[in-house]
Every structure is written in C-alpha cells, then in structure tokens.
Amino acid sequence: MMSIFRQGSTSLSKFISATGTASITSVLGNVNTPFGLRGQTANFIVPSSEKKIIPIYRAYPSLINKGENIVKVTEQKYVDKFDPNNIRRDLIRRNSQNRINVGDIVRVTNKDNSSFTGMCLAIRRAGLGSTVLLRNQIKKMGIDMRFSIFNPKHIKVEIVRKSAKKYKTEKIYYVKGIKGDVKSDLSNVGRQRR
C-alpha cells in the first residue's frame, strides 16, 4: 500500500477509485497540497541500464615474511637506522658492560650542542621507545627530564660517572628530597677530564 502512495497523486486517486473507500482522503487530506504525499516521492532515484564494472586489482607483495610480526620488523628497521654501531643498544641492554644503571650520571647532547646532565632515576627498556629519566638540580630546584634513547635529535648519550651504590630496582623515585638526592648542579661533572 505504501508503494502505491509513493508513486504520486495519480496512483492514490486510482487506489481510492479501485477500493471505493473515501475515508482515506479524509485522513490524508488533499494530495496536491504541500503537506500531501507529493513531497514524499523519491524523484532523485534515476534508473540506470548500464552495468557498473568494479576493477579488482592484484594484491601487493608482502613486505615481511609469513609469520613475522610487522611491529617488530619495523622497529628493528628503525633501530638499525638510528643506531648503526650498536652503541645506544648497549646502553639499555641488561647484560652489557656499558649499560646505564639507576644512580649513574648521564649526559645527553642534542644537535644544537645543548646538553643535559643528570642522575638516572628510571630506565624504561622498550625497544625503540626506550627512555631514561634524568634528575639535576639547577638554581636549587630539582629538574626531572625524560629522554628517548633512540631519538635522532640526541647525537650523544654517554655515561659520565658510574654509581657507587647498586640499586635493586630500575626506578628510584624515592630518592627525591632525601639523602640520596642530587645536591648540586651536575652540568660540570666530567668536564675537567677533557
């Protein structure tokens, strides 16, 4: 019944004359009015006799071997790009002799020759996203900064002085404000030997 109404006022009048009921016109009102069914017809649908051909393209060759993890492969590619000599990987590798430990004094030098030296409070070993948290005291105020190991903006990450004390955990946030905290500016540590 609704499909007959959607076709326009002529079909509606044919429906009324065929069924012989006049009550439907009293309910719907005049069909030619702006509030009638003429405004509800779908005039925008144009039937087409042409067939649409959807092209099917050949699949691209796989960039990784079957069974490999794409995240690990991509991460390894960027680690090789940012650290071709394995120097930075040795800084975060657990079984390396040159690794960064908490409590060590570490200097990070940027491309614009600015540097930050601080005591390492935390190490996050997460592949390409590995970071170290360094703490220094500048103008009697404690400053914490987190640096990414594999960030290409950092041209050098070096250990200035190893810690005399061995900590069991890799995060020593508890030293802030107590005896083991940084007491003075560490920017000049290790510069006398150069």
> What is the set of domains in the chain, with CATH numbers?
2-40 (no CATH), 70-175 (2.30.30.790)
Indicate the pTM of the whole model.
Answer: 0.62
Residues ≥6 apart with Cβ < 8 Å to 24: 15, 16
* Residues forming a β-bridge with 138: 141
Q: What is the pLDDT along the chain (194 residues), one digit of tens a residue?
A: 444 445 555 555 555 555 555 444 444 555 454 555 555 556 666 677 788 888 999 988 887 888 899 899 999 999 999 889 999 999 999 999 999 999 999 999 999 999 999 999 999 999 899 999 999 888 888 889 999 999 999 999 999 999 888 888 888 888 887 776 777 767 766 665 44
How many residues are there in the chain?
194
| Burial status of residue 150 (CB atoms within 10 A of its CB: 0-12, 13-18, 19 or more) | buried
For 12, 20, 29, 37, 153, the CA distances from 32, given in Å and listed in that order, are 11, 20, 9, 8, 73
